[in-house]
A and B are shown apart, each in its own frame.
Chain A
Amino acid sequence: MANYSTNEFRSGLKVMLDNDPCSILENEFVKPGKGQAFNRVKLRNLKTGRVLDKTFKSGESLEGADVMDMDMQYLYSDGDFWCFMEPDTFEQHQATESAVSDALIWLSEQDICVVTLYNGIPLSVTPPNHVELEIVETDPGLRGDTAQGGSKPARLATGAVVKVPLFLDQGDVVKVDTRTGEYQGRVK
């Protein structure tokens, strides 16, 4: 991979830091009047998700990371691996549990997800921003109680537990924002 100098740093750039692929979130140029110029950089470690603050001398460089985001369809899991397919080429990729762990509670077969590949291997999986899932377990619905704004927990088909309005019942299908885990509305 190419090397990137501090003056090429920009948000979204993927670089290697301490042997882990990272994504640059922010880059600030700092220079004392008479002193050495440096760059304060905020990075997200793409393996752990942790956000780091690092300071580099201006002119230093980091190796680029072979990281690529790709839309793929989730096919199935055999319990050890989760299988995703590139829609264009039908090429399949096996993701480990650690790569899918954050997405698991939202994932239904056939969903189109963003799979982040690092050196060609799935590093992480981002579920669709919105998913529609059936409620499999919740307290009985209070029919007609649509105005009060109360909520109760409901377990969805994929295992996620979200807060839903009181009038909903087992078997209802709800739309959820996976980024916040918030109920968005009833489907149908």
Chain B
Amino acid sequence: MSDWQPGASIHNLRRRAQVMSLVRNFFANQSVMEVDVPVLSRSGVTDLNIDGICATLAGAPAYLQTSPEYFMKRLLASGSGDIYCLGKAFRDSEIGHKHNPEFTLLEWYRCGWDEHQLMSELGDLVSQLMNKPGASDLRVTKVSYADCFQDKFGLNPHQASLSDLQDLAAKAGSSSWAGETRANCLDLIFSLKVEPQLPEGLVFIYDYPECQAALAAITTAEQGYKVSRRFEGFLDGLEIANGYFELCDPVEQRRRFDQDNIARQAAGKPIWDIDAKLLDAMRSGLPACAGVALGLDRLLMSDLEVKSIDQVMPFSWLRC
């Protein structure tokens, strides 16, 4: 196929259009309002492992959004009620069979819900989207992050010592992992040893480690250690969604942003200005809510049973 032609077949593009339309119908039926928030912002994100793409607007930096989260939270704090956004997100240098630097993200927030209610709704949505005549119902499984590790390695990821995790990571990866952080070791072990063996269908992993809380609230588990109220969804082993019972405390949020920037600096990455407008919104009051982001391209890869993200997009970056 030539470079000027799309990576996806016209059949796949038709399916893509159909899924986007089904998503909008699903939320219209639930009375969740669509919001088309900007993709350009004066602020970037501080996430250690997510690098934004910076454009220039009238000589000043303008950041392409890595997700619609901050704008959506400002709407939630303004009394929007339940909202969803189906739009583009941008992440620098993420190129591979499962990654494209520009991709389509479906993100939504439910006020007054917790993460488990949101997982149920996500399960319903994916079941409806992938419901094909003659196919069996989508199998939905839920398992805690701790149980994944306990079953496979006989250790508790929240309580295991850093050196135990580093040993496990070095075994799974290469010797250079022996000095890595807790979060990096956990990511490596999970990606290489747990993810490839997840059962078929939709699998929710919940109660992520405290060190991987991102923007999720933190709670104390029955066993006494802290976990973050974050979950991820995997469809036939492919990561498709990441959700939180959202952190609403602006002081803790500020502390995490600062921590992010310290970690970025240590990693030799540029540090970003903190999004002051998001913090102002949180100070004025973010309603208790749960939110999740779902990669639409990944969902289509699973639905259409293709190996490369290039096959579900009109033009992946290789063809742009």
- Is chain B found bound to chain A in the same assembly? yes
Tell me the A residues contacting B by CB distance below 8 Å. 7, 18, 28-38, 40, 54-58, 60
Chain B interface residue count, Cβ-Cβ cutoff 8 angstroms: 30
Given the complex, which residues of B lie within 8 Å of A32, measured CB to CB? Answer: 187, 190-191, 239
Q: Is the interface of B mostly helix, strand, loop or mixed?
A: mixed
Tell me the B residues contacting A by CB distance below 8 Å. 47, 49-50, 93-99, 172-177, 180, 183-184, 187-188, 190-192, 212, 214, 232, 239, 242, 295
Sampled A-B contacts (12; CB under 8 Å):
A29-B94, A29-B98, A31-B96, A31-B99, A32-B191, A33-B239, A35-B49, A35-B191, A37-B93, A37-B94, A55-B174, A57-B184
Contact A33 B95 (CB under 8 A): no
User: Which of A28, A29, A54 has the most chain B CB atoms inside 10 A of its CB?
Assistant: A29
Contact B242 A33 (CB under 8 A): yes
Bound state CA distance, A36 and B173, in angstroms?
Answer: 13
Contact A33 B232 (CB under 8 A): yes
Bound state CA distance, A117 and B184, in angstroms?
Answer: 38
Contact A55 B214 (CB under 8 A): no
Contact A34 B173 (CB under 8 A): no
* Distance between B311 CB and nearest chain A CB, rounded to angstroms: 17
**What is the count of residue pairs linking A and B with beta-carbon distances less than 8 angstroms?**
65
Once A28-B97, A30-B96, A34-B49 are accepted as A-B contacts, the answer to whether A56 and B174 lie under 8 Å apart by CB is yes
Once A28-B96, A29-B95, A40-B192 are accepted as A-B contacts, the answer to whether A35 and B176 lie under 8 Å apart by CB is no
Identity of the chain B residue whose Cβ is nearest the Cβ of A27 in the assembled complex: B96
5 closest A-B pairs (Cβ-Cβ)?
A29-B96, A55-B173, A35-B187, A54-B174, A36-B184
Given the complex, which residues of B lie within 8 Å of A60, measured CB to CB? Answer: 176
Contact B242 A54 (CB under 8 A): no
Please tell me which one of the listed residues A29, A31, A55, A56 contacts residue B192 in the complex, with CB atoms under 8 A apart: A55
Given the complex, which residues of B lie within 8 Å of A55, measured CB to CB? Answer: 172-174, 177, 188, 192
Contact A35 B174 (CB under 8 A): no
Bound state CA distance, A106 and B232, in angstroms?
Answer: 56
Once A33-B232, A40-B192 are accepted as A-B contacts, the answer to whether A7 and B187 lie under 8 Å apart by CB is no
Bound state CA distance, A37 and B94, in angstroms?
Answer: 8
- 8 other A-B residue contacts (CB within 8 Å) besides A32-B187, A33-B295, A35-B212: A7-B93, A28-B96, A29-B99, A30-B96, A33-B239, A36-B188, A54-B173, A56-B174
